[in-house]
C-alpha cells in the first residue's frame, strides 16, 4: 500500500508544471508566458 501511495505522489510531483516567477525589471520572460515585465499580468498584480 505504501508503494502505491509513493508512486502516486511521485507522479503528481513529476506531472505538475513548474512555474517560474516573473522578475519585474529585467526585460526577460521569466515565467514562460511569452510576456515580459510590464506586459505581464503577474507584474501588474505586484505593482497594484
User: Is the pLDDT assigned to residue 17 strictly greater than 70?
Assistant: no
Q: What is the pTM of this model?
A: 0.47
Average pLDDT over all residues of the chain:
79
- Of the chain, the percentage scoring pLDDT greater than 70 comes to 85
User: Is the pLDDT assigned to residue 1 strictly greater than 60?
Assistant: no
* CB crowding 8-25: b at 16 or more within 10 Å, else e: eeeeeeeeeeeeeebeee
- In this prediction, residue 3 carries a pLDDT of 74
Q: Mean of the pLDDT values across residues 14-35?
A: 79
Give the pLDDT band of residue 18 (cuts 50, 70, 90).
low
CA distance 12 to 34: 26
Amino acid at each position: 500500500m505504501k508503494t502505491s501511495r509513493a508512486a502516486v505522489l511521485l507522479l503528481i510531483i513529476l506531472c505538475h508544471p513548474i512555474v517560474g516567477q516573473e522578475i519585474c525589471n529585467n526585460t526577460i520572460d521569466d515565467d514562460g508566458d511569452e510576456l515580459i515585465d510590464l506586459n505581464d499580468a503577474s507584474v501588474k498584480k505586484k505593482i497594484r
